[in-house]
């Protein structure tokens, strides 16, 4: 198989097709620390795309409770187990070499097998086909935490303190990662799956698909799903009509996907990043996604060791055990959390842009404001400024302007706490 470069694992890897990259890539950052588990994103996607017969168990967007929840059930545990067994069979001990971290390999080098490299002699990608029962509910173990040691009245004598809570869970919001090297595309014998040149969105040509379910088997995130009534596979389409600017509300510029635009917790930021011929992100320090992923490095890919180079990134939760998070998001977890806890002046401003406009933001500017707070964080002095961040759309027009310090509105006395 050809060799392709995967910047998330810091090295070349084998993939069935030669490198071919889109002009722009659909990408997003999800801030786990802000998610309230309301499933508004899930409902919006279901109502928009998967409301028909045969799609009852299709949840292109879902929010699952970690560490126990998953949809389909056990998808990540089973994928990690398969990869672990492949490493044992090959006599390989996987690890991350952080000493080799550089601009082209920000997380260091992954010295282990990817899913394409671990595939058997009759496989293109190492994977498994979930049993029907595993698709029965997207909400198994919702809001279920790890074990809690209670005292009198059910209260823990130790309390709860950061950086790691004794009892913990967090919400993991998931859509198709629109990977740079999609496992579903690699495995499809009909070549029915493709990445769009204009935005990198991964789609299934349903006229070519014959329902072999190789995509379902290969995708480690299980975001390709089989529809029995039509006998073809379907998946998240990245709300491409909105990305194309074809929505009546778009004013001709790219808009965020539906699951992004409805989020009341303001945890999502969706956009398009420019891609160079070699697959790297074109340097754009004032693009919010480029800034969060490549400069601040607070947003990390989900299971980068799978080797698909996913394009959905996560700001990891502060309170969960670090070994668990490193397995899920790679070795950049400690640095990402440290920078999120005490954000730089620029990072704090950029974080305000999440879910403030339906139009994708392609550039931001910051107008400096006054110092409003000075406090010690993790033994170091941290300063907060009331800066103003301005977001611009694809045509360079201002679409949002807001301050770091949010305005406080008081109800008048005659309407105080009234309904």
Query: Chunked in runs of 10, what are the mean pLDDT values of the chain (419 residues)?
Result: 96 97 98 97 97 96 97 97 98 96 96 97 96 94 88 72 85 98 98 98 97 98 97 98 91 96 97 97 98 98 98 97 97 97 97 96 98 94 97 97 90 73
**Residue 411's pLDDT is what?**
80
39 is written with which tokens? 């499933």
**pLDDT score recorded for residue 235:** 98
Alpha-carbon distance of 313 to 270, in angstroms, equals 10
The rounded distance, in Å, linking the Cα atoms of 259 and 261 is 6
DSSP 71: S
Phi/psi for 324 (5° steps) reads -65, -45
Residue 103's contacts (CB-CB under 8 Å, 6 or more residues apart) are none
- The answer as to CATH 3.40.50.10490 being correct for domain 3-341 is no
- List the structure tokens of 353: 């842009």
Task: Determine the pLDDT at residue 407.
Answer: 85
Contact criterion met (CB below 8 Å) for 289 and 361: no
The whole-number pLDDT of residue 415 equals 76
For residue 154, what are its two tokens? 């059910």
DSSP 128-177: ----GGGGS-TTTTTT--S-----GGG--TT---SS--SS--EEEEE---
- Which of 357, 255, 347 has its CA nearest to residue 298? 347
Bond prior to 72 in cis (omega within 30° of 0): yes
Percentage helix, strand, coil, to 5, in the chain?
25, 20, 55
Distance CA 172, CA 174 (A): 6
Which sequence spans correspond to the domains of the chain? 3-341, 345-403
Q: What confidence score (pLDDT) does residue 418 get?
A: 60
- Dist CA 256 CA 274 (whole Å): 16
Q: What pLDDT does 147 receive?
A: 85
Taking alpha carbons only, the member of 337, 352, 328 closest to residue 298 is 337
Phi, psi of 40 (to 5 degrees): -60, -40
Query: What integer pLDDT is reported at residue 1 of this predicted model?
Result: 85
Beta-carbon contacts of residue 177 (< 8 Å; ≥ 6 apart): 221, 223, 301, 302, 308, 310, 311, 312
d(CA 402, CA 400): 7
pLDDT at 419: 60
* Structure-token match 């209260």, residue found: 155
Strand pairing of 363-367 and 312-315? unpaired
Rounded Cα gap, residues 31 and 339, in angstroms:
13
Bridge pairing between strands 312-315 and 24-31: parallel
Q: What residues does 13 pair with on adjacent strands?
A: 4
Quote the CA–CA distance of 309 and 281 in Å, as a whole number: 13
């Amino acid at each position: 198989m050809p060799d392709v470069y995967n910047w998330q694992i810091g090295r070349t890897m084998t993939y069935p097709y030669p490198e071919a990259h889109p002009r722009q890539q659909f990408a997003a950052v999800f801030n786990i620390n802000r998610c309230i588990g309301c499933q508004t994103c899930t409902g919006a996607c279901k109502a928009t795309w998967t409301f028909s017969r045969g799609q009852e168990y299709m949840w292109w967007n879902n929010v699952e409770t970690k560490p126990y929840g998953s949809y389909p059930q056990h998808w990540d545990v089973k994928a990690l187990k398969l990869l672990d067994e492949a490493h044992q069979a090959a006599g390989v001990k996987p690890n991350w070499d952080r000493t080799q971290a550089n601009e082209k390999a920000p997380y260091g080098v992954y010295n282990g097998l990817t899913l394409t490299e671990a595939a058997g002699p009759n496989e293109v990608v190492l994977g498994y086909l979930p049993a029907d029962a595993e698709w029965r509910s997207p909400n198994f173990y919702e809001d279920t935490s790890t074990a809690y040691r209670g005292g009198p009245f059910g209260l823990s004598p130790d309390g709860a303190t950061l950086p790691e809570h004794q009892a913990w869970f967090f919400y993991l919001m998931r859509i198709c990662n629109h990977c740079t090297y999609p496992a579903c595309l690699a495995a499809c014998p009909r070549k029915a799956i493709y990445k769009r040149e204009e935005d990198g969105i991964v789609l299934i040509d349903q006229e070519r698909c014959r329902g072999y379910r190789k995509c379902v088997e290969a995708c480690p995130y299980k975001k390709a799903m089989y529809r029995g009534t039509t006998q073809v596979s379907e998946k998240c389409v990245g709300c491409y009509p909105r990305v194309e600017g074809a929505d009546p509300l778009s004013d001709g510029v790219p808009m965020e996907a539906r699951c992004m635009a409805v989020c009341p917790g303001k945890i999502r930021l969706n956009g398009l990043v420019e891609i160079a011929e070699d697959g790297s992100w074109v340097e754009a320090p004032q693009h919010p996604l480029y800034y969060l992923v490549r400069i601040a490095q607070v947003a990390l890919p989900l299971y980068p060791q799978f080797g698909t180079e996913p394009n959905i990134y996560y700001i990891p939760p502060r309170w969960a055990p670090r070994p668990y998070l490193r397995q899920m998001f790679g070795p950049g977890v400690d640095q990402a959390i440290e920078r999120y806890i005490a954000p730089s002046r620029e990072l704090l401003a950029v974080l305000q842009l999440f879910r403030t406009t339906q139009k994708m933001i392609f550039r931001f500017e910051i107008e400096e404001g006054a110092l409003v707070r000075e406090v010690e964080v993790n033994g170091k002095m941290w300063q907060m400024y009331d800066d103003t961040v301005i977001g611009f759309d694809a045509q360079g027009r201002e679409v949002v302007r807001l301050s770091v310090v949010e305005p406080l509105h008081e109800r008048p006395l005659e309407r105080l706490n009234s309904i």
